[in-house]
């Protein structure tokens, strides 16, 4: 299979295409697979029709993610019949769910892997068989200006609506030495920006050490650090203080609230009340006055009344989010909420979704406009495109469009001259 070593001519090289759906964990796992493919002599291509092997690294968290994957599988089936694509692999969260097996049958997928056995891709692409390896310990890509480092996998919560504990399993905290070892290697290879990843990063614990200890240690070796996702029940004030105190931690907090109604929070098993969430935000604002705040909100969980929805709108007003990821409730097979009575009609969900969106965007726009005229140090994340605009990030975590030749990983000083709800527009000075 691996004929590149014996006959390394261009047209003999195997090609692969990876499509990533869903969250940063998947983006990160795709990088590990990319690294394996390179090791096996594959060349990465953009288009399915140029690929011998296509890997779909999938998300299962909401039904529309699955629908999208079905669309891609249909197209791949056709390309396979036409002989353009040879093999299709499906990995990630659908791979770990029952539906993975069903899709395999239905679309004749060649390989289905879950999130716990990603290492098995090795033998499939002609590398030596690998022993069972904790996915975060598989090497990722080196030499990129910014990189993710997984500190924990899985989740010990049982939120009513959520499939993550089923497909990703219970929480496993990655040992401190492994995390710091990976961060060191990355920084030595030129990485400037480390994002610590996990479903509930604040729940990380090891031998008396807590997440804030880990974050502090990482911030001592990495030039720029961020982390996601936090859970309001685990988020410690000490962590919020640390964010305020350490110059090189990006001052953005992503703290999913899901609902502003105590009744819904209870039904969702979130483990906190709206009041506790508000207090966390107060502590954040006190410690990190220039920080930005984002959240996740679900519209139309079963049983949600108009009154519950109003509580959410109030909370949005009070917290003044800079951004929110708003989701319409999506029933996931095997979760508690999928069986709950009181399904909210689609048109009601849609209206609530839009009302929340409007409230968030109104707030965000107001806050972003306050930045007009400010001079900021901007970390460049994406190089300039054809329009000459590069995409960067302030230390407070605002996304910024700026006209500059600077490369990813570099900083530019710029003045903000206008603002939208999602992005600041700045001019290099």
Q: How buried is 7 (Cβ within 10 angstroms: 0-12 exposed, 13-18 middle, 19+ buried)?
A: exposed
395: which DSSP letter?
A: T
200 versus 292: smaller Cβ distance to ligand SF4:
200
Which of 197, 260, 263, 272 shows the shortest CA–CA distance to 233? 272
Q: Coil, strand or helix: which one is 326?
A: strand
Torsion, Cα 139 144 149 150, to 10 degrees, reads -60
Q: What residues numbered 136-155 form the site for ligand SF4, per CB under 6 A? A: 155
d(CA 235, CA 427): 36
Does residue 298 touch ligand 5AD according to CB under 6 A?
A: yes
190 versus 342: smaller Cβ distance to ligand 5AD:
342
> Considering only 75-83, 119-127, 174-182, 327-335, which stretch makes contact with ligand 5AD by CB under 6 A?
327-335
Q: Which option in ligand SF4, ligand 5AD, none does residue 332 bind, with CB closer than 5 to 8 A by kind?
A: ligand 5AD
- CB of 100 closer than 8 Å to CB of 112: yes
Six-digit token pair at 410?
A: 């570099």
Q: What residues numbered 198-257 form the site for ligand SF4, per CB under 6 A? A: 199-200, 231
By residue count, the chain amounts to: 429
Shortest gap between Cβ of 300 and ligand 5AD (angstroms)?
9
Size of the site for ligand 5AD (CB under 6 A): 12
d(CA 16, CA 197): 26
Q: Which option in ligand SF4, ligand 5AD, none does residue 329 bind, with CB closer than 5 to 8 A by kind?
A: ligand 5AD
Q: What residues numbered 268-297 form the site for ligand 5AD, per CB under 6 A? A: 296
Q: Would you say the C-alpha torsion 166, 171, 175, 176 has a positive or negative sign?
A: positive
Q: What residues numbered 376-415 form the site for ligand 5AD, per CB under 6 A? A: none
- CB of 127 closer than 8 Å to CB of 105: no
Does residue 173 touch ligand SF4 according to CB under 6 A?
A: no
* Residues 344-373: x where in contact with ligand SF4 by CB under 6 A, - otherwise, as a string: ------------------------------
In the complex, which residues of this chain contact ligand 5AD (CB under 6 A)? 61-62, 161-162, 256, 258, 296, 298, 327, 329-330, 332
In the complex, which residues of this chain contact ligand SF4 (CB under 6 A)? 155, 157, 159, 162, 164-165, 199-200, 231
């Amino acid at each position: 299979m691996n004929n590149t070593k014996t006959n390394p001519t261009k047209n003999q090289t195997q090609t692969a295409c990876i499509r990533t759906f869903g969250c940063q964990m998947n983006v990160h796992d795709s990088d590990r697979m990319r690294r394996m493919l390179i090791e096996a002599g594959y060349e990465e291509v953009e288009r399915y029709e140029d690929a011998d092997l296509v890997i779909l690294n999938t998300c299962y968290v909401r039904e529309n993610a699955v629908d999208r994957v079905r669309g891609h599988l249909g197209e791949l089936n056709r390309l396979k019949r036409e002989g353009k694509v040879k093999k299709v692999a499906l990995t990630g969260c659908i791979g770990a769910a029952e539906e993975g097996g069903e899709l395999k049958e239905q679309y004749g997928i060649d390989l289905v892997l879950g999130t716990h056995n990603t290492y098995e891709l090795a033998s499939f692409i002609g590398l030596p068989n690998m022993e069972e390896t904790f996915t975060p310990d598989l090497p990722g890509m080196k030499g990129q200006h910014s990189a993710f480092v997984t500190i924990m996998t899985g989740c010990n919560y049982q939120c009513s609506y959520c499939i993550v504990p089923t497909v990703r399993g219970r929480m496993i905290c990655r040992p401190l030495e492994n995390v710091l070892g990976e961060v060191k290697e990355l920084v030595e290879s030129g990485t400037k920006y480390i994002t610590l990843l996990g479903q509930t990063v604040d729940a990380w614990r090891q031998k008396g050490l807590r997440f804030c200890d880990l974050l502090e240690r990482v911030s001592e070796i990495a030039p720029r650090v961020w982390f996601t996702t936090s859970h309001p029940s685990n988020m410690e004030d000490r962590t919020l203080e640390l964010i305020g105190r350490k110059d090189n931690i990006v001052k953005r907090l992503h703290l999913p609230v899901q609902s502003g109604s105590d009744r819904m929070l209870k039904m969702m098993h979130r483990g906190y009340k709206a009041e506790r969430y508000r207090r966390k935000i107060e502590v954040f604002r006190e410690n990190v006055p220039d920080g930005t705040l984002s959240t996740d909100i679900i519209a139309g969980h079963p049983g949600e009344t108009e009154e519950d929805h109003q509580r959410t709108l109030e909370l949005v007003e009070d917290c003044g989010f800079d951004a929110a990821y708003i989701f319409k409730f999506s029933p996931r097979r095997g979760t508690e909420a999928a069986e709950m009575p009181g399904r909210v009609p689609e048109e009601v969900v849609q209206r609530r979704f839009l009302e929340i969106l409007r409230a968030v965007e109104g707030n965000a726009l107001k806050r972003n406009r306050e930045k007009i005229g400010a001079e900021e140090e901007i970390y460049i994340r994406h190089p300039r495109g054809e329009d000459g605009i590069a995409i960067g990030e302030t230390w407070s975590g605002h996304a910024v469009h700026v006209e500059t030749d600077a490369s990813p990983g570099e900083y530019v000083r710029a003045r903000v001259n206008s603002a939208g709800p999602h992005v600041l527009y700045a001019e290099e000075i």
